[in-house]
């Protein structure tokens, strides 16, 4: 099967930036489908993070076909990917969801030889090591579920087999958000979340699969217990972890729990909470209100997550080719630049660089002080000159990942215990 011409978007890229010419040269392809591709519609669904209408509009403009986006919460995404393979063409899911969904056979393996920028994908998603010296973090590290044995594989293999389960698209390193003005002293450990000093002013997110990982970071930091693998706890470890937090909850440590992005922003902006688990864009949302808020790097490291796109097993013919073209386009830089200007990272940072100004690249990726105003993709000013990204450069942040979002063998038990924690 041949690939589809990249002419249209390449031309655009050249217009925008000379650097993309390299990418265009790297993707020579005969004109095969031409007009037919315009009638193709690909149905993508996933969590809200990267399901952006701007991306769909840009796909129409650059590639000519239609991308339909559906945003769902992660539970629904998992269910749909696992039970309704015909309802989607492209699944935009997180790696821990992939661990649950891949064995069902509803996704098809992707041939890495058709991925033009495969060799430029960050090491985290291939060998598991960001740099040759990196230590692989606990939890569902993306490379452990990123490859399968062959075109029809239902298993995961640990080496780069040439067949990928998901093509990485977006990822980040999460930590605690704090209000430095209300705390007034340096915070450097996860254990501070349960520090009685912040009684009634702490919060944690009420999404069990992510919350439990934040809890594990806190428990380890307190010196209460060291997990063999935070990403795969035993029942006893789950009891221990939630026990510590239930005790803290009963003692009034928490002001509230949050479930939606906007709730976390409001809790922080109003000063109800001064320290809590938080997501990167929420920090910028608080800051854009003129309220100081820091995405605090901590000694124990970050809790990281990664998302990628997978292809439905039902995809074939021109739709499959269009999907490959979409993936290649995704990694060619425009989307990466769009996402990186929101504080996320792209799987192929070097292509994104062509779609960012030098100042933006310096601020978001290299951890340098901003030279002028830093705006988000929607034009809102997020940082002013002199500001430095919390946690520093890409390598400082992604190099300090302590664990990945994970799905445990004892997941159902954990969920039950989580409900008891909330009701306690």
Partner 1 sequence: MASPLALVLTVFLVAPIVMIVIVSFWGATEFSIYPAFQFDNYAFLFGSEVTYRVFLNTFKYAGITWVFTLLIGFTVAYFLAFHVRSLKWQIALFLLCTIPFWTSNIIRMISWIPFLGRNGLANSTLISWGVVDEPLEWLLFSDFSVILAFVHLYTLFMVVPIFNTMMRIDKSLIEAATDAGATGWQTLWHVVIPLTKPGIMIGTIFVVTLVMGDFITVRFMSGSQSANVGRMIQNDIGLLQYPSASATAVILLVTVLMVIGLLLRLVDIRKEL
Residue among 123, 153, 162, 200 that touches partner 1 (CB under 8 A) = 200
Rounded distance between C-alpha atoms, residue 377 and residue 209, angstroms: 30
Do residues 45 and 72 touch, judged by C-beta distance below 8 A? yes
Segment near partner 1 (CB under 8 A); pick from 60-68, 276-284, 296-304, 416-424:
416-424
- Count of residues making up the chain: 424
User: Looking at 78, 169, 277, 351, which residue binds partner 1 (CB under 8 A)?
Assistant: 78
Give the nearer residue to partner 1 in terms of CB position, either 260 or 316: 260
- Of 76-84, 288-296, 369-377, 385-393, the segment contacting partner 1 by CB under 8 A is 76-84
Which residues 217-276 are close enough to bind partner 1 by CB under 8 A?
A: 249, 254-259, 266-267, 270-272
- Contacting residue, 41, 83, 152, 316, with partner 1 by CB under 8 A: 83
The rounded distance, in Å, linking the Cα atoms of 146 and 167 is 8
Binding-site residue total for partner 1 (CB under 8 A)? 31
Site mask, partner 1, residues 337-356, x = CB under 8 A? --------------------
Q: Which of residues 110-149 bind partner 1 (CB under 8 A)?
A: none
323 within 8 A of 42, measured Cβ to Cβ: yes
Any contact of residue 411 with partner 1 (CB under 8 A)?
yes
Q: Which stretch binds partner 1 (CB under 8 A): 6-14, 36-44, 317-325, 412-420?
A: 412-420
Q: Is 95 in the site for partner 1 (CB under 8 A)?
A: no
**CB of 72: closest distance to partner 1 in angstroms?**
12
- Cα–Cα dist 137/139, whole Å: 7
Give dist(CA 335, CA 352) in Å, integer: 8
Report how far apart, in Å, the C-alpha atoms of 195 and of each of 279, 333, 393, 400, 413 are.
21, 43, 29, 23, 28
Determine how β-strand 374-375 pairs with β-strand 381-383.
antiparallel
Binding test (CB under 8 A) with partner 1, winner from 8, 43, 99, 100: 100
| 198: contact with partner 1 by CB under 8 A | no
Q: How far is the CB of 359 from partner 1 (least distance, A)?
A: 35
Q: How far is the CB of 150 from partner 1 (least distance, A)?
A: 25
Kindly tell me which residue out of 2, 53, 79, 152 binds partner 1, with binding defined by CB under 8 A: 79
**Which member of 29, 36, 72, 82 binds partner 1 (CB under 8 A)?**
82
Count of other CB atoms within 10 angstroms of residue 317: 10
Q: State which residue, 135 or 424, has the beta carbon closest to partner 1.
A: 424
96, 146 contact by CB (below 8 A): no
Contacts with partner 1, 279-318, as mask; x by CB under 8 A? ----------------------------------------
Which residues in this chain contact partner 1 in the complex, by CB under 8 A?
A: 73, 75, 78-79, 82-83, 100, 200, 203, 206, 208, 249, 254-259, 266-267, 270-272, 411-412, 415, 419-420, 422-424
């Amino acid at each position: 099967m041949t690939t589809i011409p990249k002419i249209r978007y390449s031309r655009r890229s050249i217009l925008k930036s000379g650097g993309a010419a390299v990418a265009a040269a790297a993707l020579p392809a005969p004109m095969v489908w031409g007009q037919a591709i315009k009638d193709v519609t690909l149905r993508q669904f996933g969590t809200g993070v990267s399901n952006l209408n701007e991306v769909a509009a840009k796909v129409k403009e650059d590639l000519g076909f239609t991308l339909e986006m559906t945003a769902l919460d992660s539970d629904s995404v998992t269910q749909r990917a696992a039970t309704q393979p015909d309802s989607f063409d492209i699944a935009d899911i997180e790696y821990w969801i992939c661990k649950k969904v891949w064995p069902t056979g509803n996704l098809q393996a992707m041939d890495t030889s058709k991925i033009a920028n495969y060799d430029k994908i960050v090491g985290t998603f291939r060998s598991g090591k960001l740099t040759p010296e990196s230590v692989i973090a606990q939890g569902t590290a993306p490379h452990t579920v990123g490859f399968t044995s062959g075109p029809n594989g239902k298993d995961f293999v640990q080496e780069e087999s040439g067949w990928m389960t998901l093509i990485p698209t977006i990822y980040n390193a999460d930590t605690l958000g704090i209000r430095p003005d209300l705390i007034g002293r340096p915070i450097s450990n996860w254990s501070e979340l349960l520090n009685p000093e912040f009684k009634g002013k702490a919060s944690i997110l009420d999404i069990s699969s992510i919350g439990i990982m934040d809890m594990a970071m806190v428990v380890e930091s307190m010196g209460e217990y060291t997990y063999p693998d935070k990403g795969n706890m035993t029942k006893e470890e789950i009891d221990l972890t939630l026990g510590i937090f239930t005790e803290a909850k009963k003692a009034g440590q928490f002001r509230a729990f949050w479930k939606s992005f906007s709730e976390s922003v409001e809790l922080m902006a109003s000063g109800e909470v001064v320290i809590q688990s938080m997501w990167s864009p929420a920090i910028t949302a608080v800051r854009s209100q003129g309220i100081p808020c820091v995405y605090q790097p901590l000694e124990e490291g970050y809790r990281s997550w990664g998302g990628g796109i997978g292809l439905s097993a039902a995809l074939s013919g021109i739709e499959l080719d269009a999907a490959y073209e979409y993936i290649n386009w995704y990694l060619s830089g425009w989307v990466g630049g769009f996402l990186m200007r929101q504080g996320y990272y792209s799987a192929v940072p070097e292509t994104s660089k062509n779609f960012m100004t030098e100042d933006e690249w310096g601020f978001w990726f290299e951890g340098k002080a901003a030279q002028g105003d830093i705006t988000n993709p929607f034009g809102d000013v997020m940082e002013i000159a002199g500001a430095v990204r919390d946690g520093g450069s890409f390598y400082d942040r992604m190099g300090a990942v302590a664990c990945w979002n994970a799905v445990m063998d004892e997941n159902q038990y954990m969920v039950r215990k989580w409900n008891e924690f909330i009701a306690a």
